[in-house]
Structure 1
Amino acid sequence: MGYELREHTADVAVEATGATLDAVFGAVADGLAAAMCDEIPDDGERFDLDVRAENREALLFDYLDELIYERDVRGVLPVEHQATVAETGDGTWTCEASARGVRLSAVDARDVKAVTYSEMALEATADGWRAYVVFDV
């Protein structure tokens, strides 16, 4: 279980699997980091994220979008993702997550502009969960 980068016309895609929904969210986020940077230093401080959305797919989109936002605002490459995904009592979904922020000045990072809904998939499988996400580069 984990992720693989996939070529996608002018963009890049991440295909990820995980035994749980938490694991597949973390694996897609790790794939996003890999799409931006080949070698990641060991420095950086952890930070927390709290994302809410109306369904699982929207939650995955919003979580990844928030990571790109944090990259831009904090000036860090989010890596080593941990995510806890849950459905709330009112039918919405939450993702409580954390990541280690590596200073962008310490890495040679490629620009990933945005997450897209193009071909996005988030589905249960016999082995757990599978996600496929295309990023605009």
Structure 2
Amino acid sequence: MNTDARFELRDHTADVGIAAEGATLDSVFGALGDGLAAAQCDDIPDGGERFSFSLAAEGREALLFDYLDELIYERDVRSVLPVDNEVRIEADEEWRLEASSRGVPLADLEAREVKAVTYSEMRIEEHEEGWEAYVVLDV
């Protein structure tokens, strides 16, 4: 779990927003992944196996969208809730990330459905203190 970043769920019309801030862009992406899990489940049990994946995109907003979308995809394909998300990001000609998550079996929890991540109101900003981001989830 990210120790230098935090997230907050926010009501957003019929959807759910996640705001996150942290010292690094890596930690903010991980916190948004943890926020995605929290939007689906109130109490996350121990257990579950870690899994990893890699992504590449043309920009950081596209990478964030693809990252959260991949977590939803992994949830559906593996029947797990991805939690304790860790991310490493590199950027040069394209944006790349290496991510890992602990997959808690959906059978072990009561989860709400998040249908998709949206580009609506998405923002990622760097400040003197670090990074902050906001995304809206379609529930």
**Normalising to structure 1: TM-score of the pair?**
0.97
1:119 to 118, 121, 127: 121
Question: Secondary structure of the equivalent of 1:40?
Answer: coil
Deviation at 1:122, TM superposition (A): 0.5
Deviation at 1:126, TM superposition (A): 1.9
Show the counterpart of 1:133.
135
Q: Deviations over 1:80-112 (max 9, x none)?
A: 000001113xx1101101000000010100000
Structure 1's unaligned 5+ residue stretches are: none
Q: Deviations over 1:24-48 (max 9, x none)?
A: 0001101000000000110100000
1:54 to 53, 58, 71: 58
Question: Secondary structure of the equivalent of 2:110?
Answer: coil
Deviation at 1:125, TM superposition (A): 1.3
Tell me the distance in 1 between the aligned counterparts of 2:110 and 2:136. Answer: 21
Tell me the distance in 1 between the aligned counterparts of 2:101 and 2:85. Answer: 5
Deviation at 1:5, TM superposition (A): 0.2
Aligned-residue sequence identity (percent) comes to: 64
Greater than 6 Å deviation, 4+ residue runs? none
Question: Secondary structure of the equivalent of 2:71?
Answer: helix
Show the counterpart of 2:24.
20
Show the counterpart of 1:73.
77
Deviation at 1:49, TM superposition (A): 1.2
Question: Secondary structure of the equivalent of 2:120?
Answer: coil
Structure 2's unaligned 5+ residue stretches are: none
Q: CA RMSD in A?
A: 0.6
| Paired residue total | 135
Question: Secondary structure of the equivalent of 2:90?
Answer: strand
